[in-house]
Amino acid sequence: MEIRSAVVLAAGEGARLRPLTEHRPKPMLPAATKPILEHVFDALVDAGITEITVVVGYGRTHVQSHFGSTYRDASIDYVVQDKQLGSGHALLETESIVSGPQLILNGDQLVERGVIEDVREAHDSEAVATLGLVRDADVANYGGVILADDGRITEIVERPHDDRSYHLNAGVYAFEPELFEYLHGPEPQFNEYSLVDGITNAIDADEIVRGVNSDGFWIDATYPWDLLEVTETLLESADGVESTVSADARIHDSATVVEPVVISADCVVGPGSVVGPNVALGENATVGTNAVVENSVVDVDARIGSNATLIDCVTGRRVRIGAGSTIVGGPGDVRVGDRVHENERLGALLADRVRDEGGVTYAPGTIVGSDAVIAAGASVRGTIGSETEVQ
């Protein structure tokens, strides 16, 4: 079916990515050097979508000011979800303006164009919805789908833990407007209107809901360390991001760049420094003399001092890392909310405008909140709150 319109759900915060999402929504965090949402738009446009409706909410001005009303000749309309009451509620906000079949994508997950094309080609008006599926051994933290031999979905299980054969729900859907009636009821769980619950309602009413398997990649950046995997996957995938050094970057002759990398415009890489592999430097980032940056995502306007070492590091915007500071890399134990995640590949996360004054040592798994200041020579570990001064 030739679907030309898509709804992108981009209203959520991404609380498990705090403190990176204190000042911008998860869809605007960098995947390599571009916002996650921009990769989503690229996949849609490359698949032939010409009209995009974006549901925005938390931090919506960041989305609207960045993209405006068009992207690569595709029109963009915005619908505001004032209260984040779930993905089904977000889609319901578009009910008055949607006509005809649509694609639905999550604005905070990356999928290859091929997944979108497979869903669009498989969908027909006999089905109220068609879901893109990926075979995945570990669906425990996501949505598992039971697929019958005839291609119909018989059950969707959030975070399944039994031993049945599941397909991963990749978060790419084609749907008919009739789906809206199933999003209205019955009563939502935990005061949230889930899109999956609405599709389950349709299955229970004996509507046709199909699934189509795809070989394309699917990535969800749920936690801070996932941004490292996202960048690595994009750099290694044929449909991802090309390893490139901007013509406007200044790389000293004695510096070493180990591909794959993305080094953006106006970056400066100083004498004797080593950048890469799997490094993304945002615009106007500076790497000082003899510094080492490896397996890291460094956001715009960051400054990395001379003789500093960054391994498995994620930074926010305008971070200042002083001379001789050391982020030794993961694995480490990382606290997110009230849960400790053991042995994750994260050297440190430094949120927006963190400033260290040099000679700082970061234990693996350290998270530092925005606008924190770390005194010269300090050793830090665990979670440091925003606007904290560490002596």
Q: Do 111 and 209 belong to one domain?
A: yes
pLDDT at residue 114 in the model: 87
Specify the range with the lowest mean pLDDT, choosing from 75-79, 218-222, 248-252, 287-291: 218-222
Residue 206, C-beta contacts closer than 8 angstroms, at least 6 positions apart: none
With 80 as the cut, is the pLDDT of residue 192 above it? no
For 259-300, what is each residue's pLDDT tens digit?
Answer: 999 999 999 999 999 999 999 999 999 999 999 999 999 999
- Specify the number of domains making up the chain: 2
**Dihedral (Cα; 173, 37, 231, 359), 10-degree rounding:** -140
Whether residues 176 and 249 share a domain: the answer is no
Is there a domain that residue 100 lies in?
yes
**pLDDT reported for residue 211:** 93
* Same domain for 264 and 195: no
Are 263 and 216 members of one domain?
A: no
The answer to whether residue 189 scores a pLDDT higher than 80 is no
The string of pLDDT tens digits covering residues 174-187 is 999 998 888 886 55
Regarding whether 323 and 198 lie in a shared domain, the answer is no
Q: Which region among 26-30, 130-134, 138-142, 225-229 has the lowest average model confidence (pLDDT)?
A: 138-142
* Mean pLDDT across 91-118: 89
Task: Write the DSSP assignment of 164-223 as a string of letters.
Answer: S--EEEEEEEEE-TTHHHHHS-SPPBTTB--HHHHHHHHHHTT--EEEEE--S-EEE--S
* Element containing residue 296 per DSSP (H, E): strand 296-298
pTM given for the model? 0.89
pLDDT, residue 185, reads: 64
- Please write the tens of the pLDDT for every residue from 12-34: 888 889 999 998 999 999 999 99
369 and 269 together in one domain? yes
Query: pLDDT tens, 39-77?
Result: 999 999 999 999 999 999 998 999 999 999 999 989 999
pLDDT band, very low/low/confident/very high, at 137 (cuts 50, 70, 90): low
234 falls within a domain:
no
> Looking at the structure, do residues 166 and 18 belong to the same domain, yes or no?
yes
The whole-number pLDDT of residue 139 equals 76
CATH number at residue 137: 3.90.550.10
Share of the chain above pLDDT 70, in %: 97
State the pLDDT at residue 187. 57
Q: pLDDT digit string (tens) for 325-358? A: 999 998 988 988 888 999 999 999 999 999 999 9
Q: How many Cβ atoms from other residues are within 10 Å of residue 304's Cβ?
A: 31
Question: How does pLDDT run across 69-102, given as a tens digit for each residue?
Answer: 999 989 999 999 888 788 888 888 888 888 889 9
Q: State the Cα–Cα distance between residues 154 and 135, nearest whole angstrom.
A: 16
pLDDT score recorded for residue 36: 93
